[in-house]
Amino acid sequence: MKVLVPVKRVIDYNVKARVKPDQTGVDLANVKMSMNPFCEIAVEEAVRLKEKGVATEIVAVSIGPAQASETLRTALAMGADRAILVQTTEDLEPLAVAKVLAAIVGKESPDLVIMGKQAIDGDNNATGQMLATILDWPQATFASALEVSGKKAKVTREVDGGLQTLEIDLPGVVTADLRLNEPRYASLPNIMKAKKKELAIEELASLGVDTAPRLKVIKVTEPPKRAGGIKVETAADLVSKLKTEAGVL
């Protein structure tokens, strides 16, 4: 079984995004970039499927600038077999990303696409669902457990108030939630090995996909700041302030 894992290069999870003074976006110059955390979980799940003997090949794919090849190298070091970079300097919207991924799926014919539920830059949580729709494949989002047997996948999903289990016919799209697994760190020997793995580069234009933006960003601003608060000395102090000053008890 072949697994395709889309990954995205984003601002590092621990870095606070700063808005540019001219309000055109978030300042990403000289900021640490990493693989989106949910994409890491997706890669890890694919690697575990391979270790269990369920998956035979893992193809990682990223859409982005030349530097996104570093993110793909990370996926290769974690255990992906080969990688595809769809190179573009454009910042694509989820619908466009889904269309590009659908084109890659058309070329690669994977049995399963595992991807993160959301990227921590755009926070859209939409691409996986859109990809499933475009491909007319079943979807199972926000997965916290995945079991593949034959041409079926049993997926436990995080829903409001608990867990839901679905069974989907493969090929299908699964999006990873936080508790699906804990991604491994790539070992040094594996990082070295990853440098020798195949990383193909395709120009976005060569795929012939309509990626025109549908949304125009008017401005990007900082959210209003909270006014500073006060420190209280004791729990009793706190309760009295909440009661009389804040009026919330």
Question: Nearest-5° angle of CA 194, CA 35, CA 128?
Answer: 110
Binding mask 30-59 for other proteins (x = CB under 8 A): --------x---------------------
Shortest distance, CB of residue 131 to other proteins, whole angstroms? Answer: 8
Nearer to other proteins, 196 or 219 (CB): 219
Is the separation of the CB atoms in 47 and 58 below 8 Å? yes
Total of chain residues touching other proteins, rule CB under 8 A = 84
Q: If you ran DSSP here, which 8-state letter would residue 71 be given?
A: H
Question: CB–CB of 175/124 below 8 Å?
Answer: no
**Listed residue (70, 16, 5, 67) closest to 38, CA to CA:** 5
Taking the complex as a whole, the smallest distance from the CB of residue 25 to other proteins amounts, in Å, to 8
Closest-CA residue to 115 (of 5, 35, 10): 5
Q: Which of 21, 30, 123, 208 is close enough to bind other proteins by CB under 8 A?
A: 123
Rank residues 26 and 201 by Cβ distance to other proteins and give the closer one.
26
Q: What are the angstrom distances between the C-alpha of 121 and each of 20, 27, 84, 94, 143? A: 15, 12, 22, 12, 20
229: left (phi over 0), alpha (psi -120 to 50) or beta: beta
- Least distance (Å) between residue 6 CB and other proteins: 15
**To the nearest whole angstrom, how small is the minimum distance from the Cβ of residue 184 to other proteins?**
15
Which structure tokens are listed for 187?
């070992």
In this chain, which of 137, 143, 181, 194 binds other proteins, going by CB under 8 A? 137
Among 42, 142, 143, 194, binds other proteins (CB under 8 A): 142
Among 95, 148, 194, 204, binds other proteins (CB under 8 A): 95
140 binds other proteins (CB under 8 A): yes
Using rule CB under 8 A, residue 6 touches other proteins: no
User: Restricting to residues 148-187, which ones interact with other proteins according to CB under 8 A?
Assistant: 154, 158-169, 172, 177-179, 182
Binding mask 55-84 for other proteins (x = CB under 8 A): ------------------------------
Of 203, 210, 215, the closest CA to residue 102 belongs to: 210
Closest CA to 127 of 141, 108, 138: 141
Site for other proteins in 208-227 (CB under 8 A): 214-223, 226
Cis peptide before 171 (omega within 30 of 0): yes
When binding is defined by CB under 8 A, the residue of 21, 29, 53, 230 that contacts other proteins is 230
Backbone angles phi, psi at 216, to 5 degrees: -110, 125
Taking the complex as a whole, how short is the minimal distance between the CB of residue 242 and other proteins, in angstroms?
7
